[in-house]
């Protein structure tokens, strides 16, 4: 098994995955354990895993992932730090296979110190599934990060995709060519659950990028370069907008108390409600 761990971490698609994590950290997109990444393996990638057997029992998913039975995905681990992934990929990454019921998965590789895939696994998998159902729109990479300029913009503009998209399009002339379908917008909500996964997947069907208000951005692409390049472009466009128009913009949105109370409830007492 140690030999298999070493050989898997050196496979080209794993090395490309790790390189995106490094690029995201150097761009300032990932504080602490913020953000996550997933990759849908090709048949050639799966063939390179020959000899690896599933470990343990199936793990349940929060939602059914239609059409994904038997498919393999490389994903970041829950709680993992992007900056640590290059030093220990077999601990902070994992390859999973979706079971035939499409309601569970099994671990194939990784998570050498235990744990589970990213808490936003269902968002990633549902996004892959809806894009696979649209002819010519299949994606191989789903990337979620916390680009600071995009998050800042979500406080300063109305949270509708027409307003957000036009603001980004008019900040840099290449933008309409690079994300012609615009940017979808999900309102502020607790991350990591089935509700945000469903809303994101509805938008990702027709958009390559979806803003999670006050939280971050979800981008997809046919390759690691495509997904990262889109994240980088949208954050740069938001940065330009803040530089040019920022002084004239006023906050129109905020994280309200009701959402903070929801977060406190989900945290099982870890969030001190005395501050709300």
Q: Which domains does the chain have, with CATH numbers?
A: 2-248 (3.40.225.10)
DSSP class of residue 228? H
Query: Of the candidates 40, 38, 36, which has an alpha carbon nearest to the alpha carbon of residue 215?
Result: 36
For residue 56, the model assigns a pLDDT of 85
| 192 conformational bin, left if phi > 0, alpha if psi -120 to 50, beta if neither | left
pTM: 0.93
For residue 213, the model assigns a pLDDT of 97
Strand partners, 36: 144
Q: Is the dihedral of CA 218, 216, 185, 240 positive or negative?
A: negative
Q: Is residue 16 annotated as part of the catalytic site, yes or no?
A: no
For residue 3, the model assigns a pLDDT of 40
DSSP class of residue 13? H
For residue 116, the model assigns a pLDDT of 94
In whole angstroms, what is the distance from residue 166 CA to residue 172 CA? 11
How many CA atoms within 13 Å lie on the side-chain side of 252?
11
10-residue stretch averages of pLDDT, the chain, 276 residues long? 64 97 97 96 94 89 92 97 96 97 96 93 93 90 98 97 97 96 96 85 95 97 97 98 92 93 86 90
What Cα–Cα distance (Å) separates residue 184 from each residue in 12, 56, 147, 192, 232? Answer: 32, 38, 16, 18, 16
In whole angstroms, what is the distance from residue 115 CA to residue 178 CA? 37
For residue 2, the model assigns a pLDDT of 46
Give the 3-state secondary structure of residue 37. Answer: strand
Q: Which two tokens stand for residue 191?
A: 């991350």
Out of 99, 102, 120, 122, pick the active-site residue.
120
Strands (E), 41-193: 55-60, 72-76, 93-98, 104-110, 141-145, 183-186
Q: Which two tokens stand for residue 230?
A: 């889109």
């Amino acid at each position: 098994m140690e030999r298999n761990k070493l050989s898997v971490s050196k496979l080209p698609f794993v090395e490309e995955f790790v390189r995106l994590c490094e690029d995201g950290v150097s761009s300032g997109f990932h504080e602490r354990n913020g953000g996550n990444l997933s990759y849908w393996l090709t048949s050639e990638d799966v063939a390179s895993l020959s000899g690896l057997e599933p470990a343990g029992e199936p793990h349940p998913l929060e939602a059914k992932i239609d059409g994904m039975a038997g498919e393999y995905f490389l994903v970041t681990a829950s709680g993992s730090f992007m900056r640590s992934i290059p030093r220990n990929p077999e601990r902070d990454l994992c390859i999973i296979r979706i079971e035939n019921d499409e309601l569970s998965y099994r671990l194939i590789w990784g998570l050498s110190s235990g744990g589970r895939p990213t808490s936003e696994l269902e968002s990633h998998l549902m996004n892959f599934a809806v894009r696979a159902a649209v002819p010519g729109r299949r994606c191989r990479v789903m990337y979620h990060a916390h680009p600071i300029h995009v998050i800042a913009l979500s406080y300063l503009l109305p949270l509708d995709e027409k307003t957000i998209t036009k603001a980004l399009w008019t900040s840099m002339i290449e933008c309409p060519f690079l994300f012609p379908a615009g940017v979808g917008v999900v309102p502020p909500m607790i991350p990591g659950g089935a509700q945000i996964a469903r809303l994101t997947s509805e938008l990702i069907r027709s958009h390559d990028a979806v803003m999670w208000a006050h939280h971050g951005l979800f981008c997809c692409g046919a390759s690691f370069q495509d997904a990262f390049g889109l994240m980088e472009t949208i954050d740069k466009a938001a940065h330009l907008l803040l530089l040019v128009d920022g002084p004239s913009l006023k906050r129109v949105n905020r994280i309200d108390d009701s959402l903070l109370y929801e977060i406190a409830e989900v945290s099982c007492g870890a969030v001190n409600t005395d501050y709300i």
